[in-house]
A and B are shown apart, each in its own frame.
Chain A
Amino acid sequence: MTGPPFELRDAEIQPDARAKLTGEAVFTDDRFMPGVLWASVATSPVAYGRIESIDTSAAAAMPGVVMVATAAEIGRRRHGRRLADQPVLCWDRVLFIGDRTAVVVAETRAEAEAAAARIAVDITEEEPLLDLERVTAENAPILHPEAQSYRYSGGRRPEVPHPNVQGHATVGLGPDDIEAVFASAAHVFEEEYRTPATHAGYIEPRVCLAWNENGITRVATTNKGPFRLHQQLADTLDVDSDRLEVVSGHIGGDFGGKGQTIDEYLCVLLARSIGRPVKMAMTWAAELAQGPVRHSSLVRLRTGVTEDGRFIAHSATVLYGGGAYASAKPVPDLTLPGATSAMIAYHIPAVRIDARTLYTNSVPGGHVRAPGQSQVQFAGESHVDSIARRLGIDPYEIRTRNALGPGMRSASGLHIREPRAVEVLNAVRTVDRHPPADDGLVRGHGVALAARHVGGGEFPLRAVLSPDATFELVTGLPDQGAGAWMVMQRVFAAELSVDPERVSVRYVPTGETRPDRGIGSSRSTHLGSRAAQLLAGEVKSWLDARLAEGLELRADVFVRRDGTDSIPFAALVTADLVPDPVEFEVLYREEESEDEDHDFVALAVDVAVDERTGVVTVEQATLAVDVGAVINPTAHRGQLEGGFMFGLGEALMTQLRVRDGAVVEADRQLFRIPALADVVRLTIIELPTEVGPGAYGAKSVGELANPVVAPAIANALADATGVRVPRLPLDPESVFEALTARDGEVGARGQSGG
């Protein structure tokens, strides 16, 4: 393989940039239809209880109301991306504050919402299960006693150790008797870290609109996996798959959260039963309260270390707060993709990891940018740093000594192709520190190291060559703004050596093309680029067969192989050569391999801490990334910068606190994400390679930067103050409390800032 063609090094123009800038791009909420009705749901105000009765009479009498329905009318139906455990509407019990009990359809949104507020549900409250450590206790209530009967797509649901465990993943490396290895260690360090639930924080809420057309129910959605949603709708609603069509397209922000949407089940049912279009849109408060949210976590790590700082044994217990339903989890074992990756960048000979997602009476957990990984990376990279400080070893040195090298197995159990841990560490290690200032603040430096998998699988792609010498790529993959369409367009154009402006991308609904798995799991660049490459190969073979005169395509011009003549692409590809549009289609399938592809990443930050107020400010940051080959330079950089800011938010401010089962932040004034004015000076060091699974060695980037930010900042905070805060976010009050605990009293810290 060689590097990317020259034209890919130029900054790209997004195929949909013009539509978005001019407002022509249609987002789901922009869709209106004559006669559209609005639906709104009634939700449980209690975290756990038995439904005694549901009285819909007052709601039905409200103005504008067309229909009120409960599970008695729509049937006892459950949905889920893998395990169908979440009721479309509850019938016998409610399992979290926000669980749906009834739906109202009315002529306007305001009427639907007003009537939904009049649904009276009589619930006998029970003691909710909220504490992760109590979930599998002997007296804990079993939240899903009939789990055996739930639909599970794709084979048999793996066994779980307890009915309140949603999913279970383990890693076991080294000798059977790991305790003997711990016993031989010079030091054993044991720590516990916690992270809160958070929300992806996209701007466009989840919206859907369903309508009937020619015997088919179509649903427009903000879901980024339309084919999967299509299948789930068919399975959950007992509707023939041919009678459904899902259309996505432009998505107004995702950050991992748009793989799960749930209003579609009601919308489709109601549109079919009433015969008019039905629309639903989540409010911002409902987004925060009903999720899915990032899983909270409790991570216990134990590491045996030699006198010179080598890790010889490691065990981890990872508990994720899964909330009331596992429905948002697509992974077959119903855990999270990053669950076992706390120490992924290191080689440790003896390892035991036990990771569980747990049922609780709280908002359901789902996917948010680097799901599962960002929680354990905070724990793992804080832990490594803490060990270094306690042994008096430089934090870079301890990481280098234990870093995963070629031929070694990672502590997460994987063989990783071309592990570049030491390279990324060295790249950030040599950067000049931020200069100190005489301003009363204390300063510190911190580093974190991680690796992130590159997703794979298979991917279909179609191209249509028209007599006007343009190509149209046809895909059912939505673009949530990260640039998947651009990847396909640019690689396809580069491979054919034609101007990218000749290549447009057309998104089509589920009924018009072969299924793909949607955007997610850091796979789109890999799959889209390779499918485009394959497809361009098909087109080239076809052209070669027709141009037997020895022409080859170079920079939008056909050149005779002996160099004697050249013909513009558009002059040759005309109605003579292509009288009718010609279609090409490929299905790219990733090759099976023993080795996994990962990106390595290291982040170094310099922070200033105001010990009087607990405010932590990042003064500079340097990110070194193993980027593979870059296809969309601008979008690629945007993903790294955006990922960094996303991580900064989760490090310092973003959280959904759940108290007695209720999300405290379910209000726009309380949920915090960074603003533009919080942007930090970030230097990015790109380390290219051709060893990536995508075209020219391309890897993934979207979920690479965010997991290392919180641990790097926590480590810098520890460097500055000597205080380790073992939970997120590192908001001023938490830092203040930790400093107060260090000093033993309030107000002991000297005057500063003057």
Chain B
Amino acid sequence: MTYHEAESLDHAHHLVTSRGARVVAGGIEFALDVARLRHAPLVGVSRLEEIRGVADDPRTGEIRIGAATTLGEMVDSNILRRSLPILVEAARQVGNRRIRNQATIGGNLCSRLRGTYDVAPALLAVDAVVEVHPGKRIPVGDFIDGTDPNGDGVVAWISVPAPLAGTVSGYEKIKPDAAAPGVASVGMTMAVESSGVIGAARVVIAGVAAMPVRVRTAETALVGSEIESIPGRYLGEIIRSAAGDLDMAGRYRLEVAVAAAERLASRLRSVHGTGPAS
């Protein structure tokens, strides 16, 4: 087994393209699957300062998260807590604190089970873009659906459009015990206008299909409603009726997703009521 410490993004990219190296960051996936992954040369990117941390970039109107940022750092990030609580709540669902201090957002997005680990569904709900060095920008939905994470690039940044004023967001997961993978989860963002009317919404559910899915009928129904008057059960009915189209597996997981969505909507309503989220 050979391991190279990347000196720069370019260096990592060079090792990937010229030597067929696999990128390793926190090493969680590697530890879980060492028998399969030990054969390729490895290039470590977790110490690359250029892809660490969370930055609010007013020029582009984006919040950028370095791929080597740990989930623990995301949980502690003031920028994310203020602007994108959905990402904080989703990151907190992964593993335990020790795992989160090691695991990175980039590694999580490239893992084999990325569709069910909580970062991807939350990123899908905030319209994130994955920046792959050099020079590619891939919407997160396309990235987790099709992109080979061991292709010829190195995941460098995840960019999220800075939410509009009045946006509330959150992530709700139902799991029976601490180490359980979880039954189902829901991520939701709603841009609420000063009048209290929902101007834009994204709803993503995970755990009911192989990959997280956007429930567009629910989003359509939310837009134009007053946030104070969304009946929780109405949202559940929409998700249930969307289930057929979405090819969801199992009524139990669906019902759990419905419960999670209703609870999250209710929680976001009270967040909105208690003060501005941004």
Contacts and interface: CB of A to CB of B under 8 A. Distances in A.
B267 interface: yes
Given A613-B174, A652-B176, A732-B176, A753 B266 contact: yes
Interface string A717-754: 00000000000000111001100000000110001111
Contacts of B259: 610, 612-613, 752-753
A612 B178 CA distance: 19
A672 B182 CA distance: 12
B177 A674 contact: yes
Central interface residue in A613, A677, A732, by most chain B CB within 10 Å: A613
Interface string B170-191: 0000111111110100000000
A672 B176 CA distance: 11
A721 B210 CA distance: 33
Contacts of B258: 747
Contact of B176 (A615, A669, A676, A677): A615
A676 B97 CA distance: 12
A678 interface: yes
A733 B249 CA distance: 14
Contact of B255 (A616, A746, A751): A746
B14 interface: no
Nearest to B233: A751
A676 B251 contact: no
A736 B263 contact: no
B177 A736 contact: no
Given A612-B255, A612-B259, A732-B183, A751 B232 contact: yes
Contacts of A752: 259
Given A613-B174, A751-B232, A669 B255 contact: no
B174 A754 contact: no
B217 interface: no
A669 B181 contact: yes
Contacts of A613: 174, 183, 255-256, 259
B252 interface: yes
B238 to A, nearest CB: 13
Nearest to A674: B177
A754 B232 contact: yes
A677 B174 contact: no
Contacts of A652: 176-177
Interface residues of B, number: 24
B262 interface: yes
Contacts of B47: none
A282 interface: no
Nearest to B180: A672
Contact of A677 (B96, B251, B256): B96
Nearest to B252: A733
B81 interface: no
B240 interface: yes
B145 to A, nearest CB: 22
Contacts of A747: 236, 240, 255, 258
A675 B240 contact: no
A224 B258 CA distance: 49
Nearest to B231: A751
Contacts of A615: 174-176
B255 A653 contact: no
Contact of B179 (A677, A736, A746, A753): A677
Nearest to B263: A753
A426 to B, nearest CB: 32
Contacts of A653: 176-177, 180
A678 B181 contact: no
Central interface residue in A678, A746, A753, by most chain B CB within 10 Å: A753
B266 A754 contact: yes
A158 to B, nearest CB: 42
Nearest to A672: B180
Contacts of A678: 177-179
A752 B233 CA distance: 10
Nearest to A110: B35
Contacts of B96: 675, 677
B275 to A, nearest CB: 19
Interface in A641-680: 652-653, 669, 672, 674-678
A746 B251 contact: yes
B119 to A, nearest CB: 18
A732 B266 CA distance: 23
A720 to B, nearest CB: 16
B178 A675 contact: yes
A295 B21 CA distance: 47
Contacts of B176: 615-616, 652-653, 731-732
B251 A754 contact: no
Contacts of B263: 753-754
A174 B217 CA distance: 68
Contact of B177 (A675, A753, A754): A675
Interface in A334-366: none
Nearest to A669: B181
Contacts of A677: 96, 177-179
A613 B256 CA distance: 5
Contacts of B175: 615
Given A674-B177, A675-B177, A678-B177, A754 B255 contact: no
Contacts of B252: 614, 733, 736-737
A653 B251 CA distance: 20
Contacts of B255: 612-613, 736, 746-747
A677 B175 CA distance: 13
Contacts of B177: 652-653, 672, 674-675, 677-678
A731 B256 CA distance: 13
A733 B255 CA distance: 10
A737 B250 CA distance: 12
Contacts of B251: 746
A754 B255 CA distance: 16
Contacts of A612: 255-256, 259
A746 B259 CA distance: 12
Nearest to B172: A753
A672 B96 CA distance: 16
Central interface residue in B181, B183, B259, by most chain A CB within 10 Å: B259
Given A612-B255, A733-B252, A736-B252, A754 B179 contact: no
Given A733-B252, A747-B240, A751-B233, A676 B262 contact: no
B13 to A, nearest CB: 32
A735 to B, nearest CB: 9
A675 to B, nearest CB: 4
Interface string B221-256: 000000000001100100010000000000110011
Interface of A: 610, 612-616, 652-653, 669, 672, 674-678, 731-733, 736-737, 746-747, 751-754
29 contacts: A612-B255, A613-B174, A613-B256, A614-B252, A615-B174, A615-B176, A616-B176, A652-B176, A652-B177, A653-B180, A672-B180, A674-B178, A676-B178, A677-B96, A678-B178, A736-B255, A736-B256, A746-B251, A746-B255, A747-B240, A747-B255, A747-B258, A751-B233, A751-B266, A752-B259, A753-B259, A753-B263, A753-B266, A754-B267
Given A672-B177, A732-B174, 20 more contacts: A612-B255, A613-B183, A613-B255, A613-B256, A613-B259, A616-B176, A652-B176, A653-B177, A672-B180, A674-B177, A674-B178, A677-B178, A678-B178, A732-B256, A733-B183, A736-B252, A751-B232, A751-B236, A753-B259, A754-B232
Q: Nearest 5 A-B pairs (CB), nearest first?
A: A754-B266, A677-B178, A612-B259, A675-B179, A753-B263
